[in-house]
A and B are shown apart, each in its own frame.
Chain A
Amino acid sequence: QKEVEQNSGPLSVPEGAIASLNCTYSDRGSQSFFWYRQYSGKSPELIMSIYSNGDKEDGRFTAQLNKASQYVSLLIRDSQPSDSATYLCAVSTFGSNYKLTFGKGTLLTVNP
């Protein structure tokens, strides 16, 4: 059974701080890794994807992947109240977004 684990939170950070979200996965054959954001009552939306070890930056977001440790993280710099949402980690053994296995999500609250 493939598992994706996330800290359930809630994670609370002050506005302007760095929010760090973590995810571990059990299947060593995993190839594709995604972070989705889901606002309350809304559908998930993709914010980052990463396929190789190292860091990938996109604006205030940085995804980090360490396949040896089976660990993927998301850093949000200069956190804003609008970043308050549930963040979902998703993993696939395919080289793309087929058959995603999702973690249960981490609720992030950014306090003004």
Chain B
Amino acid sequence: EAQVTQNPRYLITVTGKKLTVTCSQNMNHEYMSWYRQDPGLGLRQIYYSMNVEVTDKGDVPEGYKVSRKEKRNFPLILESPSPNQTSLYFCASSSPGGSTDTQYFGPGTRLTVL
């Protein structure tokens, strides 16, 4: 089954404790992206990656890091989480220009930083 998986789905942590949210896709997509969704602010892009070892900042990259060492994986790293990073996070992947122009979203990770 074609899918984007994220782990963990729910996480409660404390300020300053480094964490990683994993994202993996099994569709051989070149493009992957991270978004955060907040009430009243909508979906905002954090980082995106056009391919392995190619990443770039989205609209709200501060406080986040990413890496793309393998095509299927695109982890989101919070080196020193703060309460304002409490949010719902979505990973997405796509293969623009292919047979479909849709981004496939993962199920989301709800993060709470105390």
Residues of A within 8 A of B (CB): 32, 42-46, 49, 88, 90, 94, 96-105
State whether B96 touches A88 (Cβ < 8 A). no
Closest to B41 in A: A104
Given A96-B97, A98-B96: A88 touches B42 (CB 8 Å cut-off): yes
- Decide if the interface of chain A is mainly helix, strand, loop or mixed: loop
Complex alpha-carbon distance, A89 and B101, angstroms: 15
List, sorted by A's number, 5 A–B pairs whose CB atoms are closer than 8 Å.
A97-B31, A97-B94, A97-B102, A98-B31, A99-B48
Q: Which of A43, A90, A100, A102 contacts B107 (CB 8 A)?
A: A43
B112 interface contact, C-beta 8 A: no
Complex alpha-carbon distance, A98 and B93, angstroms: 10
State whether B103 touches A97 (Cβ < 8 A). yes
Q: Which of A43, A49, A98, A104 contacts B105 (CB 8 A)?
A: A43
State whether B42 touches A43 (Cβ < 8 A). no
Closest to B6 in A: A43
Given A43-B90, A97-B96, A101-B59: A88 touches B105 (CB 8 Å cut-off): no
For the complex with contacts A43-B108, A96-B96, 14 further pairs of A-B residues with Cβ separation under 8 Å are A43-B105, A43-B106, A44-B43, A44-B90, A46-B103, A88-B42, A96-B101, A98-B50, A98-B96, A100-B45, A102-B44, A103-B42, A104-B40, A104-B41
State whether B96 touches A104 (Cβ < 8 A). no
